[in-house]
């Protein structure tokens, strides 16, 4: 260490990397495959292009905008209303006190104003690195309900089973179907599995535990539909073995659109699940 207190002169010569045969940029391939994957595994129905729900989206000064817009396109949706001042990455987070959709009202203030201005009734918000997702819905009185992670987990878990049964039949054998939540999260998935069939597994906190559990279950031939934790982290399907705010956002959009065709809001559906 004493002999090498400064970086070697050629340490920053990146041309060595650029000219290497081994150097590839996987960005294009990975993103293309990602959107194909979520289209194949998370999209459940056609008709999204005629959705009567108008969505507002915020990236919270982070990286989510392009991916969320592309996911909306992959699912056939009309473009969402973007929260203009928050679409571009900005490390100073100029419009929010804490750039965390979990903070609730203060972080979503601008999103709610934007949505109100555009008669949009559902807000989808990613956190700055877009691996988590919050959802809010306008209520009949004009105020906004921001769903907690537990509540959004209940909605997505219900939807995962609802669409699974829609696809394979109401009497489909659920004995190999699993849903996962971390120990600090609500046990609603356990209750849903008790009623609908399927198994609930609890793990320690964090997606390394839930995703590894999912991998092990799938190695045994099981199907893992969904995993979540209360800090608005959602893993819908197993194509991404981590929390993913983009697939969560677009699946929530599809759920809200489908419910709206039956004149049911997300808020009402949550009450239905709880009862
Ligand atoms: C909402 O509309 C009002 C009135 O036109 C405007 O002053 C305000 O800047 C708009 N806010 C947002 C966030 O779009
Ligand atoms: C989620 O539910 C669990 C279990 O009921 C509870 O301990 C936790 O505080 C809830 N989290 C939030 C953010 O409401
Ligand atoms: C939709 O639901 C609202 C509130 O529950 C109700 O007032 C309205 O009549 C319903 N509309 C239709 C077309 O069913």
pLDDT in tens, 174-194: 999 999 999 999 999 999 999
pLDDT confidence tier of residue 77, bands split at 50, 70 and 90: very high
Does residue 16 have a pLDDT over 90? no
CA dihedral 70, 71, 74, 77 (to 10 degrees): -100
> Which numbered atom of ligand 2 lies nearest the CA of 102?
13
Of 181, 262, 166, 254, nearest to 214 by C-alpha is 181
Query: What is the band of 129 on the pLDDT scale with cuts at 50, 70, 90?
Result: very high
pLDDT at 110 over 80: yes
Mean pLDDT of 41-69: 94
In a domain, 172, yes or no: yes
Residue 126 lies in a domain: no
Tell me if 178 is assigned to some domain.
yes
Residues 6+ apart with CB under 8 A from 24: none
Q: Is residue 158 part of a domain?
A: yes
- Domain CATH number, residue 237: 3.40.120.10
pLDDT in tens, 222-260: 999 999 999 999 999 999 999 999 999 999 999 999 999
* pLDDT value for 9: 86
User: Does some domain include residue 210?
Assistant: yes
The total number of structural domains that make up the chain:
1
Instruction: Record the pTM.
Output: 0.92
- 94 contacts 61 by C-beta, under 8 angstroms: yes
For the chain, the maximum distance between any two Cα atoms, rounded to a whole number of angstroms, is: 73
Question: In 3-state terms, what secondary structure has residue 238?
Answer: coil
In a domain, 63, yes or no: no
181 within 8 A of 154, measured Cβ to Cβ: no
- For the Cβ of 110 lying below 6 angstroms from any atom of ligand 1, the answer is yes
Q: Which residue has the tokens 């108008």?
A: 54
Q: 191 C-alpha to center of ligand 2: Å?
A: 15
Residue 48 falls within a domain, yes or no?
A: no
The domain in which residue 169 lies consists of 151-245
pLDDT of residue 101: 87
Ligand nearest to the backbone CA of 259? 3
Inter-helix orientation angle 188-196/149-168, to 10°: 20
């Amino acid at each position: 260490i004493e002999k090498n207190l400064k970086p070697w002169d050629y340490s920053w010569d990146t041309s060595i990397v650029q000219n290497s045969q081994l150097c590839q940029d996987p960005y294009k391939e990975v993103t293309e495959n990602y959107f194909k994957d979520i289209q194949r595994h998370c999209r459940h129905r056609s008709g999204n292009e005629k959705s009567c729900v108008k969505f507002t989206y915020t990236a919270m000064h982070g990286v989510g905008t392009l991916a969320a817009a592309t996911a909306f396109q992959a699912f056939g949706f009309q473009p969402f209303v973007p929260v203009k001042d928050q679409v571009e990455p900005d490390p100073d987070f100029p419009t929010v006190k804490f750039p965390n959709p979990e903070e609730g009202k203060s972080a979503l203030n601008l999103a709610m104003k934007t949505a109100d201005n555009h008669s949009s009734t559902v807000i989808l918000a990613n956190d700055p690195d877009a691996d988590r997702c919050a959802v809010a819905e306008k209520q009949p009185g004009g105020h906004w309900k921001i769903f907690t992670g537990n509540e959004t987990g209940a909605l997505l878990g219900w939807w995962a089973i609802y669409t699974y049964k829609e696809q394979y039949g109401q009497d489909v054998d659920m004995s190999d179907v699993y849903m996962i939540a971390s120990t600090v999260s609500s046990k609603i998935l356990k209750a849903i599995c008790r009623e609908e069939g399927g198994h609930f597994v609890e793990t320690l906190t964090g997606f390394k535990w839930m995703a590894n559990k999912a991998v092990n279950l799938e190695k045994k031939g099981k199907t893992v539909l969904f995993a979540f934790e209360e800090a608005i982290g959602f893993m819908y399907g197993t194509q991404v073995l981590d929390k993913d705010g983009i697939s969560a956002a677009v699946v929530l959009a599809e759920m809200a659109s489908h419910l709206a065709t039956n004149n049911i809001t997300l808020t009402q559906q949550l009450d239905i699940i709880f009862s």
